[in-house]
Amino acid sequence: MFNRTSRQAAAALASMSLLTGCGLFSDDEAEAAQKITVGTTSEPPTLDPAASWDNGWEMFRNVFQTLVAFPTGSSYPQPDAARQCEFADTSNQVFRCTLREGLTFSDGDKLDAAAVKHSFDRILKINVQGGPAGLLESLERVETRGDDTVVFRLKKPDATFPFILATPAMSIVNPAEYPMGKLRQDGKVNGSGPYELASYTAGDSAELTRNERYTGFADRRNNGVTIKYFKDSGTLFDALKKQDIDAIYRGLTSEQVVELEEKKPENEALQLVETVGADIRYLVFNPADPAAGQLAVRQAVAQVVDRDALVAKVYQGTAEPLYSMVPKGIAGHATSFFDQYGDPDVDKARAILEEQGIETPVPLTFWYTTDRYGSGTAAEFGELKLQLEASGLFEITLRSRPWKQFQAGYQKGQYPVFGRGWFPDFPDPDNFIAPFVGKHNALSTPYESPEITQTLLPQSRRVSNRAAVNKQFQRAQEIFVADIRLLPLWQGKLYVASTDDIAGGERALDPQTVMQMWELYRKASW
């Protein structure tokens, strides 16, 4: 990777700027220089945390607080709005948090135990389809003890509960602004996080300014952030080249990553930070569809798809083939789909279909979103269509929609086969299995698997040592292979591209792959 600045060098540069940068700018110029503009193709579909189990999280992490979160460098949730959290029993069924003193929302209203209880109760009461209530299926009730203590009583043992509390979906909201029985509709946001949302224009931008009432672990290294939303990766990348924006997170294509890595002369003023990613891409098969609902059809697709070719042609080394829903780097990772299907084999796929008397070519419609994961998604589905039709066994029709319409469609069960990505809620194998099973799951495509939901997940959640649950999750992946309701395709790497005067990119991504905007700063002005 080129133009990568070490943490020590970045610190030295920051120190030098304190000595040499003072007095070079007027107060207004200095303040403007300490603001950052970040571009992305990932716009929040909602501004209310009670409705979001997806890409609204960048906004929420920076504007709201959660009881616990992931400070830079941590792999286990640490106190945020809370000063202390812990299981209060030996069976992982009672979790207690004590709040920091003097917490307020950005408008000055008190943030107390009652506000925390309100935030969780409304998630469950509103119960948005495909929303974060699915993360709280183990929660029985929330209790308060005075103004500063919250007790979560769980229906069953759940050692992952601290990780769930750290997700931005569990943001603490002001009861005066967020009604119990419905979503907030005025287009405004106010929380207790490092920043305030000063303005938001759908499809264009969000302005974040420092929340002067903030009390938490974030050490803000800039004076504010503008988030610019782009419809496609081309205009996003052009904006970085023109330095209309300072940094990019989410939306770079593989070609753009390679271009930056090659350090072409026109990109000398740009830099790229690479981090290990746990984000995955996969296909979802709708069992209600006449074709996709047949196991043999799904097996044949799994037998034909060539992940190596897909990654090589479309992602050019910025991703790697994935053969389980649990990616590399997460405990419980396996190669279950490769173990079952091996290398792509058209003859084996044909035999599977013939044995069940299924006529070929099998017509299937594949849906994908045009703007959630970057412009490379269209090329990915073009390659899948090419592979499947080259086998002579399938006739593939491609359809696409922008994210909001795409999401509405799959939530209504309209798509026979559709592509999704998963950015982990937390770095634990549970989060790559549990969200996809059950009647009400994150995909809005019911997937009943009693062995997983009633045996394997409960067993694993009794175990506090998360490295000791491999057996349960490997078995869950064997079930995924047998059913092929989900077909993992690839695992990505994460990149932050920026102009070369921006530092902090290597510290900006937490274990949930959510950008902590406060880590970014301009070397010459901080």
Instruction: Write out pLDDT tens, residues 260-280.
Output: 998 888 899 999 998 777 889
**pLDDT for residue 28:** 52
Q: How confident is the model at residue 76 (pLDDT cuts 50, 70, 90)?
A: confident
Mean pLDDT of 345-366: 98
**pLDDT for residue 377:** 92
**pLDDT for residue 55:** 58
Determine which of 321-325, 386-390, 438-442 has the lowest per-residue pLDDT on average.
438-442
Both tokens of 285, joined, read 């098969």
Average pLDDT, the chain: 89
Both tokens of 251, joined, read 């939306």
Residue length of the chain:
526
In contact, 492 and 281? CB cutoff 8 Å: yes
- What tens digit of pLDDT does each residue of 368-427 get? 999 888 778 999 999 999 999 999 999 999 999 998 899 999 999 999 999 999 988 888
**pLDDT for residue 40:** 93
Strand partners, 224: 35, 209
What percent of the chain clears pLDDT 90, i.e. is strictly above it?
Answer: 70
User: Is pLDDT above 50 for 5?
Assistant: no
**pLDDT for residue 75:** 78
Determine which of 264-268, 283-287, 487-491 has the lowest per-residue pLDDT on average.
264-268
Report the alpha-carbon distance of residue 233 to residue 506 in Å, rounded.
22
The CA angle 305-309-314, to the nearest 5 degrees, is 110
| DSSP code string of 338-368 | HHHH-S--HHHHHHHHHHTT--SSEEEEEEE
Work out the angle between the directed axes of helices 376-390 and 295-304 (0-180°, nearest 10).
100
Strand partners, 364: 396
In contact, 221 and 93? CB cutoff 8 Å: no
Work out the angle between the directed axes of helices 295-304 and 346-355 (0-180°, nearest 10).
170
**pLDDT for residue 276:** 72
Both tokens of 163, joined, read 């990780």
What percent of the chain clears pLDDT 70, i.e. is strictly above it?
Answer: 93
By C-alpha distance, which of 275, 287, 319 is closest to 488? 319
- What tens digit of pLDDT does each residue of 114-169 get? 999 999 999 999 999 878 998 898 999 999 999 999 999 999 999 999 999 999 99
Report the alpha-carbon distance of residue 88 to residue 114 in Å, rounded.
20
In contact, 126 and 183? CB cutoff 8 Å: yes
Determine which of 7-11, 345-349, 361-365 has the lowest per-residue pLDDT on average.
7-11
Q: How confident is the model at residue 31 (pLDDT cuts 50, 70, 90)?
A: low
Mean pLDDT of 96-118: 97
- What tens digit of pLDDT does each residue of 188-205 get? 999 999 999 999 999 999
In contact, 57 and 166? CB cutoff 8 Å: no
**pLDDT for residue 496:** 93
